[in-house]
Structure 1
Amino acid sequence: MVPLIDTTVDGHVHTRLCKHAVGEMEEYVEQAVRRGLTTVCFLEHLETDIAYQPPCWLDDDEFAYYFEEGLRLKERYRGVVAVRLGVEMGCNPAAIDAIRHRLKRYPIERIGLSCHFHQHGLSHLNLLSRRPQSLDRLAAIGADAVISTYFATLIKAVASLDCDVLCHLDAVLRHLPGITFNNEHRGQIAQLLDAMQGKDIALEINTSGFDYRGSAFPAPWIISAALERGIRLEAGSDAHHPSEVGRYFDQLPHYLEPLCR
């Protein structure tokens, strides 16, 4: 029987290069070896035309280093653990063509789709940040409206951009207390899953959620809806420290098994 999810592959790790994680690329690879993983995939942040400070993504020079060092690690650890080089592509709906242009410039092996920012006037607010500068303003705009825009952005991104996996689908406003999805949001999630099914985009089971809320991203009911559509599940730790590579992967088979009934 084919397993529901491959827990020997961590498809989502970051490094110090994104400016909000710590550790060198090789430290993450070494941890993957210690964990007994077969594959570790870096998914460094690629954002385009986002007006937000401080930046929490890679610039062109950092991407040049990223791919150079990644190729070195591929060779050094060949036969020990597979090293893959990807990006976590943030969708800015006002910059679709520019995103496509940037993706063509790099030897990207895996594209994770996400949406981290909400446009507010001439600037952007960080949807996943604890910083009051974003969180307070997003709350003032109204959680329901912000969440609706978030899902609409992901729906547009799936239709407009190529990607392999959708990351932390329901992590929007994860630091704002009392967040719930209304009927409109649930309809948008269904539309999003249908679009993913049509383009064979995998759903990430992001185990950072166990630390944030005691369950993976996305919620169990979303995972069940994805499985009903035959959408593939892929594991990602969203590691921001080398010790987090493969975190909670040992729990995933037991966690997911009831959701596929």
Structure 2
Amino acid sequence: MTSLIDIREDGHVHTRLCNHAVGEMEEYVQQAVERGLTTLVFLEHLETEIRYQPRSWLDDADFALYFREGERLKQQYREVIDIKLGVETGYNPEAAEAIRRRLARYPVERVGLSCHFHRHGDVHLNLLSRRRQSLDQLAAIGADAVVTAYFAALTEAVATLDCDVLCHLDAVLRHLPGIRFNDDHRRQIGELLDAMQAHSVALEINTSGFDYRGTPFPAGWIVTEALRRNIPLRAGSDAHHPAEVGRHFKRLPDLLAVLPA
């Protein structure tokens, strides 16, 4: 553990239940134990009133299995590792009340916040997908407009939902070549961080970014701005395979140590 982040906790892993990861829950627990972690947080995908195929989140039956198996693992490994059962809640501005109702139904121990989809007509487009069809349609809409809507949605979500941590803040359109944030986007990020500070929402340092672009999500300047606001940091691997649990965590202390003051 450093003074800035606890690298003994992986606060963001997925399993086969989300339909785009692999591995059983217990395999993730075993990997976390092998890597010497003290805490593992499952953060399975929850989306509400999203029209997109193939489904990349859990339905009610999946969540029933998730919490049942999660409770079994919590008991079985209670002397070895602390397991928490959470959700990564994708924000849909048209379904805020429905999201709150769903969260109230589940025994959720941590709520991660994200925004994976952009409404386009009668369907939703995946903002983090590498699928060519989604990327082409999002590019046709205009990257600047899509990014503007993304940050506006996250800022609204922080003020609307009871959440604990904001996930992969700047990963929007991560597969679109040449994506850049303009001055208005940087202003929006500042407003988003202000909202996180006001609502006591932590910032995830998502180490999957090392594999996508050589640095975590979000960029260093965003982390610096978060620290200036005394926003706490949480490490998350965003693992979609057991082998990815805790990936690149040992790189975080050195990376954070050289952030500009």
Q: After superposition, where does 1:71-110 map in structure 2 within 5 Å?
A: 71-110=71-110
Shift, 1:259, TM fit: 1.5
Counterpart residue type for residue 122 of structure 1? D
Where do 1:208-219 residues align within 5 Å? Answer: 208-219=208-219
Q: Residues 56-105 of structure 1: CA distance to partner in whole angstroms, max 9, x if unpaired?
A: 00000000000000000000001101110000000000000000000011
Per the alignment, residue 13 of structure 1 pairs with 13
* Superposed displacement of residue 132, structure 1: 1.3
Task: Evaluate the alpha carbon distance shift between residue 260 and residue 35 of structure 1 in structure 2; reply closer, same or farther with a 3 A threshold.
Answer: farther
> Which whole-Å CA distance do the structure 2 matches of 1:75 and 1:133 have between them?
44
Show the 5 A alignment for 1:80-229.
80-229=80-229
Secondary structure of 1:259's match? coil
Q: Quick one: distance in 1 between partners of 2:105 and 2:158?
A: 20
Letter in 1 for 2:19: K
| Residues in 1 aligned to 2:130 and 2:2: alpha-carbon distance in whole angstroms | 39
Deviations 1:114-155 (A, max 9, x none): 000000001000000011121110000000000000000001
Q: Look up the equivalent residue of 1:128 and give its one-letter code.
A: L
Asked whether 1:50 is paired with 2:32, we answer: no
Letter in 2 for 1:30: Q
Query: Aligned equivalents of 1:247 and 1:90: distance in 2?
Result: 23
Distance in 2, Cα, partners of 1:118 & 1:199: 24
For residues 24-48 of structure 1, give each alpha carbon's deviation from its aligned partner in whole angstroms, at most 9, with x where no partner exists. 0000000000000000000000000
The structure 1 segments of at least 4 consecutive aligned residues displaced by more than 6 Å after TM superposition are none
- In 1, Cα distance between the equivalents of 2:189 and 2:164? 18
Q: Distance in 2 between matches of 1:105 and 1:257?
A: 41
Q: Is residue 69 of structure 1 aligned with residue 83 of structure 2?
A: no
* Equivalent position SS for 1:178: coil
Letter of the 1:21 counterpart:
A
Aligned AA for 2:12? H
Q: Which amino acid aligns with 2:180?
A: T
| Aligned position for 1:3 | 3
Deviation at 1:2, TM superposition (A): 6.1
RMSD: 0.9
Question: Do 2:2 and 2:253's aligned partners in 1 also have CA atoms closer than 8 Å?
Answer: no
Shift of 1:260: 5.8
TM normalised by structure 2 equals: 0.99
Shift of 1:258: 1.5
| Equivalent pair of 1:113/1:165 in contact (CA under 8 Å) | yes
Q: Which amino acid aligns with 2:149?
A: T
Provide the C-alpha distance between the structure 2 equivalents of 1:198 and 1:178, rounded to a whole number of angstroms.
33
1:209-250 deviations in whole A, cap 9, x for unaligned? Answer: 000000000000000000011000000000000000000000
Q: Residues 227 and 260 of structure 1 are in contact (CA less than 8 Å); yes or no, is this contact kept in structure 2?
A: no
Identity %: 70
Structure 2 residues not aligned, in runs of 5+: none
- Conservation of the 8 A alpha-carbon contact between 1:13 and 1:42: yes
Return the letter of the residue paired with 2:36: G
Secondary structure (helix, strand or coil) at the match of 1:6 reads coil
The Cα shift of 1:4 comes to 0.8
Query: Displacement, 1:51?
Result: 0.2
Question: Match for residue 60 of structure 1?
Answer: 60
